[in-house]
Chains A and B, each alone.
Chain A
Amino acid sequence: MISLSLNGKTVQLSATPDTPLLWALRDELGYTGTKFGCGIAACGACTVHVDGKPTRACVTTIGSVAGKQVTTIEAMDSNRIGQALQAAWIRNDVPQCGYCQSGQIMSAAALLARNPRPNDADIDAAMRRNLCRCGTYNRIRAAIKDAAATLSA
């Protein structure tokens, strides 16, 4: 059994250590907010935080995160940055199909945690690993700035 902290609670996983965190979250624990997009860390749909760092869950084995703090989209309404981002996402009506948006918000949350007032270049650098096929990029950019403004207000 592998033990880790998921959204502040200790969970035990029976899957083999080579199992990607993505599939342990989705199939064993039922946390389906984290999405499967590519399986090769090329789209960012599966972005979670491991000890606060944005991490592609599709290529991160559960063996490698034993004992670590994993945070998913399901916990974003319980921290200040997550709340600000979700509110800004709603105000700016960011999502279209919505499938990539969990990963977008997780990447944005990691950005705001280390850079409270990101400029366009900061946003490009932090968000360019998250694909959105619906083309919501400009709304994502606007919502990140909106959230940053509310957090520093």
Chain B
Amino acid sequence: MSTNAFPTRRDFLKGSAAATGALVIGFTLPLTSRFAQAAAAATSGAGFAPNAFLRIAANGQVTVICGLSEMGQGVHMGIASLVAEELDADWKSVQLEQAPVDKAYNNPIFGMQATGGSTAIRGHYEPMRKAGAAAREMLVTAAATQWGVDADRCHTQDGRVMGPDGRSAGYGELVAAASKLPVPQNPTLKDPKDFRILGKGLTRIDTPAKVNGSAGFGIDVKVPGLLTAVMVHAPVPGAKIVSVDDAAAKAIPGVKQVVQIPQGVAVLAEGYWTALKGRDALVVKWDDGPLGSLSSESISKLLADATTRPGAVARNEGDASVAVAKTVEAVYEAPYLAHACMEPMNCTAWVRAGEAEVWAPTQGPGPQQGIVAQLTGLPPEKVQVHTTYLGGGFGRRFAADFIIAATLISKAAGVPVKLVYTREDDMRAWFYRPAAVARFTAGLDAAGNPVSFTARIASPALSIAAGFAKELPQGIDEFAIEGIGDMLYAFPNLRVEYAQAEPGIPLWFWRSVGHSQNVYFIEAFIDEVAAAAGKDPVEFRRSLLSKQPRLRGVLDLAAQKAGWGSPLPQGVHRGVAITTCFGSFVAQVAEVSLDANGRPRVHRIVAAVDCGRTVNPDVIHRQVEGAIAYGLSAAMYEKITFRNGRVEQSNFDDYPMLRIDEMPKVEVHIVPSTEAPGGIGEPGLPPATPAVINAVFAATGKQVRTLPV
């Protein structure tokens, strides 16, 4: 299999459908779709409704067309696997093509063409299988008709239809006849026991291009006449430009233009190095605005103070103020975090008369098309968005800042422009995981049984910051409380409050979103409560999960596989943590020792995962490993801090991240399941931090209540 990195719309149409006599399946394609109309026009000779998700060429080549963005999570592989399974394709003849923007490719969970929230498999498990099954049925019907036999006496295997009498025909030989047939709207899907691809492990289709330098990321886009832009960005959120002196920049040989846009000032040159030298020669004066005095100390105080006042009630069961024999109290804090994708933010834009084209490593080509249309005054159908490979996403590439800026620069400059953020620009671009403070109280009876639980979480509202909501329903920001407001622990009396506190720092979605801090908070606190009750952390959790078989199931499996309770080498301690999020259940046990400075050294993490039916277990293993690394990195090192409204970190020297010599051994155990598929890009992250922290607690008796360690 192979992946085609930068198809242009023209190539896409040229390569598709009746031009090559191919079979194309437009399974759930709305007839009003612009792409459908364009492709239908191209295929009118064949009189066949065109395809959204797959096409088969006369030579048998199967092309799966994927509207989701590949950012390392293996979505190209997943989507191709779903289609190929039901199609009974010959896996070696399957290739993947990145889709243009079209509502046919809308993510069913989001209602727009976007990738995130661990939704890819959850949203496409059935639609993509149906797309493959519909094509298979048409190919079988075409063969049966040619042979004059009943279709139900034929079967399919590795890209061929096999007849009852030993005859067979390759899919490529059947596409002309199959394309004249109606597309079945409710094709029969396989019984999962007959799966040959799903739940097994095939090697990823994007790997070969990623080991020889040929994979096309956004930063690699080449367009004739392209200039590279490097910008001076606002130093403080909301800062306004007072003056620009570009004389020194323009004096640098090779600097072509200096362009001012509301977001900053861009220097355009042939190549990054000259553009950077020009950018560094600019003298830009800013009015910092109201956030110019903001500091991390004032933010911490704002959040902590907010937890001392009543908040909006998100959940209230029984009477959390009931009298108890023993009370456990704790206040936890988590910092702002950067995504720090390895590929710095970038976008290539070319705004021309009457049309625009954008090449971007983006998680949201659908919404970004609308944004570019607004910025250019063009109708959306005149805006092409080419989604490249993403050098990391983690939520960051759902944002539009780099696409907006590139579009405005190209519009002003009149040339194709590749805007590249320096690492420092990327680190200081104001899209951070929100900081949060959680204040907990738990009550135990005289026997140490849990009686009551209260949580008050102070954090800014991500749903408002990200533009998802104008105001909070009942005063609750779901992202701020997820992982605690919806926790499954059965305290008889339970109250969760949200205290909105707005320091003014722009916020964004960071891998696993609110769970990233809240699962740390709750799981670390549960260990404190268990200790106060004199209970074992695994047994204490089990006692609160008697009606939660899937969550208790992963807890038991992780504990068993990790040998919970068995002796450990001198100085090594275990910690456990669990979560359910994005439709999946995860438990992790960490084995940790402390170095001479008291810093944790994580030796091994054993993870148990229940994510329902699986598409590719290898991809699940890797996503959980990667999520653990991402979580550990944050726990050990990462924080974004502010002084005078400015971000204090700039690059990997002052925003250190996990390296290979600190990566623990990771074991992933998948629970066999016939439940609907859950997400897997994010659920492995939240338990990693508290599992490690709880091991530190086991070692020292003192819980870590502020991150990083």
Binding site for B on A (CB under 8 A): 15, 19-20, 23, 26-28, 30-40, 42-43, 45, 72-74, 76-77, 85-86, 89-91, 93-102, 105, 123-125, 127-141
Q: Are A95 and B663 in contact (CB under 8 A)?
A: no
Chain A residues within an 8 Å CB radius of B208: 90
Q: Are A99 and B391 in contact (CB under 8 A)?
A: yes
Task: A96 to B204: give the CA distance in the assembly, Å.
Answer: 9
Q: Within the complex, what minimum Cβ distance (angstroms) separates B431 from chain A?
A: 15
Task: A137 to B605: give the CA distance in the assembly, Å.
Answer: 14
CB-based nearest A residue for B70: A97
Interface assignment of B343: CB less than 8 Å from any CB of chain A: yes
Q: Are B72 and A96 in contact (CB under 8 A)?
A: yes
One of B181-189, B289-297, B363-371, B626-634 at the interface: B626-634
**Contacts A72-B213, A77-B212 given; does A27 touch B342 at CB 8 Å:** no
Q: Are B663 and A137 in contact (CB under 8 A)?
A: yes
Q: Are B207 and A37 in contact (CB under 8 A)?
A: no
Binding site for A on B (CB under 8 A): 71-74, 203-204, 206-215, 217, 219-220, 222, 228, 270-273, 340-344, 389-394, 420, 422-423, 618, 622, 625-630, 633, 651-653, 657-661, 663, 665-666
Task: A132 to B630: give the CA distance in the assembly, Å.
Answer: 10
Task: A131 to B657: give the CA distance in the assembly, Å.
Answer: 8
Q: Are A27 and B271 in contact (CB under 8 A)?
A: yes
Selected from B73, B204, B212, the residue in CB contact (under 8 A) with A76 is B212
Q: Are B203 and A135 in contact (CB under 8 A)?
A: no
Name 17 interchain pairs, CB-CB below 8 A, sorted by A.
Answer: A20-B273, A26-B220, A33-B212, A35-B342, A36-B219, A36-B272, A36-B344, A37-B344, A39-B651, A72-B213, A74-B212, A97-B71, A97-B389, A99-B342, A124-B661, A138-B625, A138-B663
Task: A98 to B391: give the CA distance in the assembly, Å.
Answer: 7
Q: How many A-B residue pairs have CB under 8 A?
A: 177
Q: Are B207 and A40 in contact (CB under 8 A)?
A: no
Q: Are B626 and A135 in contact (CB under 8 A)?
A: yes
Chain A residues within an 8 Å CB radius of B626: 96, 134-136
CB-based nearest A residue for B684: A135
Q: Within the complex, what minimum Cβ distance (angstroms) separates A6 from chain B?
A: 13
CB-based nearest A residue for B658: A135
**Contacts A23-B272, A39-B423, A97-B389 given; does A73 touch B204 at CB 8 Å:** no
Chain B residues within an 8 Å CB radius of A131: 342, 652, 657, 659
Q: Are B273 and A101 in contact (CB under 8 A)?
A: no
Q: Are A98 and B206 in contact (CB under 8 A)?
A: yes
Q: Are B342 and A37 in contact (CB under 8 A)?
A: yes
Task: A105 to B210: give the CA distance in the assembly, Å.
Answer: 10
Q: Are B660 and A123 in contact (CB under 8 A)?
A: yes
Task: A99 to B390: give the CA distance in the assembly, Å.
Answer: 8
Q: Are B652 and A38 in contact (CB under 8 A)?
A: yes
Chain A residues within an 8 Å CB radius of B652: 37-38, 40, 42-43, 131
CB-based nearest A residue for B624: A135
Q: Within the complex, what minimum Cβ distance (angstroms) separates A113 from chain B?
A: 18
Task: A84 to B580: give the CA distance in the assembly, Å.
Answer: 41
Interface contacts beyond A89-B207, A134-B629, A137-B629: sample of 11 additional A-B pairs, CB < 8 Å, sorted by A: A26-B272, A27-B228, A35-B219, A42-B653, A45-B342, A74-B212, A99-B343, A128-B661, A132-B660, A133-B392, A138-B663
Q: Are A98 and B72 in contact (CB under 8 A)?
A: yes
Q: Please list the 4 inter-chain residue pairs (A to B) with the smallest Cβ-Cβ separation, ordered nearest first.
A: A33-B213, A135-B629, A97-B72, A99-B391
Q: Which of A93, A95, A135 has the most CB of B within 10 A?
A: A135
Q: Are B393 and A97 in contact (CB under 8 A)?
A: yes
Q: Which of A40, A130, A132, A134 has the most CB of B within 10 A?
A: A134
Selected from A15, A42, A133, the residue in CB contact (under 8 A) with B271 is A15
Task: A32 to B276: give the CA distance in the assembly, Å.
Answer: 18
Q: Are A40 and B423 in contact (CB under 8 A)?
A: yes
Q: Are B423 and A93 in contact (CB under 8 A)?
A: no
Task: A111 to B547: give the CA distance in the assembly, Å.
Answer: 53
Task: A86 to B596: give the CA distance in the assembly, Å.
Answer: 39
Q: Are A90 and B629 in contact (CB under 8 A)?
A: no
Chain B residues within an 8 Å CB radius of A130: 660
Q: Within the complex, what minimum Cβ distance (angstroms) separates A18 from chain B?
A: 8
Q: Are B217 and A95 in contact (CB under 8 A)?
A: no
Q: Which of B340, B343, B665 has the most CB of A within 10 A?
A: B343
Q: Are B271 and A95 in contact (CB under 8 A)?
A: no
Task: A105 to B394: give the CA distance in the assembly, Å.
Answer: 23
Q: Are A37 and B665 in contact (CB under 8 A)?
A: no
Chain A residues within an 8 Å CB radius of B215: 98
Q: Are A86 and B627 in contact (CB under 8 A)?
A: no
Q: Within the complex, what minimum Cβ distance (angstroms) separates A82 from chain B?
A: 9
Chain B residues within an 8 Å CB radius of A98: 72, 206-207, 209-210, 215, 217, 389, 391
Q: Are A99 and B211 in contact (CB under 8 A)?
A: no
Chain B residues within an 8 Å CB radius of A124: 660-661
Q: Are A140 and B660 in contact (CB under 8 A)?
A: yes
Q: Are A38 and B423 in contact (CB under 8 A)?
A: yes
